[in-house]
Amino acid sequence: MKKTTLVACCLALTGYAHAETGLISMDDSELSSIAGKGLLNLAYTDPANAHSTMKDQNIGFYKLGLDAVVDLNANIKKIQLGCGGANGAGGCDIDLENVSLSGISDTSTGRVASSAQLTNPFVEFAIKNPKSAAAREIVGFRLSADKVVGLLTIGTENSSTPNGIKSLSGFMKVQSDDKSQKINGLANTAATRYNLYGSNEYGNLAVTGRLQALGLGGFAEVDFKTTAGGFNIPEILRNPFTTPAIAVNGQRQTSTTLTTQVKVPDILLGDDSSGYPEGGVVTYDPATGYPTGIQALGGKVTAEVTSCSWLACAIARKGSEFKNVYMSGKITGITADLTLQQSLGLIHNLPINSAMSLSLQKQAVKWAGTDAADTAQRGWWLSAKDPVNIGDVIPQDLIVIDQLFPQIATAVSQYLETNPAKTNDLGGLLGIGALTANVGTLNLSNTPLKLNVKNLTLNGQSFAPNCSGGMRFC
């Protein structure tokens, strides 16, 4: 009954419209002059009209798009693509766990109620030899959108245990902000003791060099090596560094590497009368909060004479020891080449504002609209055109710098071999009280140190679950 009534109404309205407006038929030429916009659109990119980097592929692209903005809030427990098969054993092209996509709100309730926005989503096919009916073939397809704006999180928690990303094939630039294509960070190092004797797992800690006494130059000189003692390096916070943005670009990746150079503040050494604290003190710039210097008591140290010359032999023969040596001076120009190898399982929080795509191809394919450096490799490939801003790289835990000490010992020894330390402390030379020695200003700018670090838990990678209640994933 209702269906009959509806049909009758439609017929009546049609007749009424025809009578009132005088509808007329239109031929093809008249229809072609009418502009309109459909929800779906189909486009083809011929190899001859493709970007220069795409012409050599002889691939045509057929694109079916949706002219709309789609809201999406989704949780996916596991994504495993390209496991085994043509790429062989050794995991999957893409292996992700606990994936959530939402709006950019990151509060415990606001995220659940928000949605990511996908502008103009589309599916695209890559056809090799598109003009040959006999030779053409599908070599790839991709699911994409002109822009995705939202928060992508992977894993359940930001902890020292990698979780979320197990392997990733794709292209993604990572930087700290929108203003520059760089990664900014702050290195925080743990308090430790710089021993001047023996060795640790990284090498020899003893310092060798020359000491000249009483302003007599080579006439009163000894060679020495340290056999005990050292001085304390306090905890150093907010040591800044900057490095170019990194690009995750490759197949079945499990980690990425960040390399940068960190400048270590000058170390000021005081002798036994300087009043410097034994534990050391770091001074900070009140405006920036960055460290500007380290004050440390340079002793006490035991030094053994390994050779002597002229007048020095009368006081300090080979094999004799000075047990209470305090050093004064400054160590400056200390730089560390930092290499951070970071598991992708420690990266969780990815704010997206970029064209994105997920593709599968049987050969390397350069898809239209992707970054110049982004060529999708055989298998599954996840791509983001624009950089992902993860904020400043700030480790939650303090970095242990014990591996620097053998390198410092070597650099200081080389310096003191050509620039001998000096003392006018006659009482100390005669064994009456402590011996104070001035090492001068040791400039180590020509001998950068190497600091290799792995798998740091980063402050900026915490995130709120995309769930109501207290669940980590739902």
**pLDDT, tens digit (0-9, with 9 covering 90-100), for 429-449:** 888 788 999 999 999 998 899
Pairing mode, if any, of strands 199-200 and 291-310? unpaired
**Residue 276 tokens, joined:** 């410097």
Q: Do 358 and 144 form a contact (C-beta atoms < 8 A)?
A: yes
Residue with tokens 């797992």: 201
Dihedral through CA 89, CA 93, CA 99, CA 100, nearest 10? Answer: -170
Three-class secondary structure of residue 382 per DSSP? strand
Strand runs (DSSP E) across 234-364, as ranges? 236-244, 246-253, 255-263, 266-270, 281-284, 291-310, 321-332, 335-343, 349-361
Structure confidence by residue, pLDDT tens digits, 104-117: 865 555 788 899 99
* Alpha-carbon gap, residue 52 to 447, rounded angstroms: 45
Taking 80 as the threshold, does the pLDDT of residue 369 lie above it?
yes
| pLDDT score at 9 | 37
Q: What whole-number distance in Å separates Cα of residue 56 and Cα of residue 375?
A: 13
Alpha carbon distance 26, 453 (integer Å) = 73
The secondary structure of 394-428 as a DSSP string is: -BSSPBP-TTHHHHHHHHHHHHHHHS-EEE--HHH
| Local structure of residue 131 (DSSP, 8 states) | T
Give burial (CB, 10 Å; 0-12/13-18/19+) of 454: exposed
Query: What percentage of the chain has pLDDT greater than the value 90?
Result: 72
Q: Characterise 216 by phi-psi region: left (phi > 0), alpha (psi -120 to 50), beta (else).
A: alpha
Distance CA 318, CA 301 (A): 18
pTM of this prediction exceeds 0.75: yes
What is the mean predicted confidence (pLDDT) over 194-215?
95
Name, in order, each residue with C-beta under 8 angstroms of 209's C-beta and a sequence gap of 6 or more: 223, 224, 412, 413, 415, 416, 417, 420, 421
pLDDT tens digits along 404-419: 999 999 999 999 999 9
3-state secondary structure of 59: strand
Among the listed residues 163, 118, 80, 104, the one whose alpha carbon sits nearest the alpha carbon of residue 473: 163
| β-strand partners of 6 | none
Neighbours of 273 (CB within 10 A): 10
Assign 218 a pLDDT band (cuts: 50, 70, 90). Answer: confident
Cβ within 8 Å of residue 132, ≥6 positions away: none
- List residues bridging with 221 in a β-sheet: 212, 309
Residue with tokens 């951070």, as numbered in its chain: 340
Chain mean pLDDT for the chain: 89
Does the pLDDT value for residue 6 go beyond 60? Answer: no
Q: Which helix (H) or strand (E) holds 5?
A: helix 2-21
- Cα separation, 416 vs 160, in Å, equals 42
Q: Between 27 and 5, whose confidence is greater?
A: 27
Q: What are phi and psi of 412, to 5 degrees?
A: -65, -40
Q: What angle do CA 298, 299, 302 make, to 5 degrees?
A: 135
Residue tagged 């905890």 (tokens): 235
Helix ranges restricted to H, 291-403: 312-315
Pairing of strands 281-284, 208-213: unpaired
- Tell me the pLDDT tens digit for each residue of 40-81: 888 998 887 766 666 678 899 999 999 999 999 999 999 999
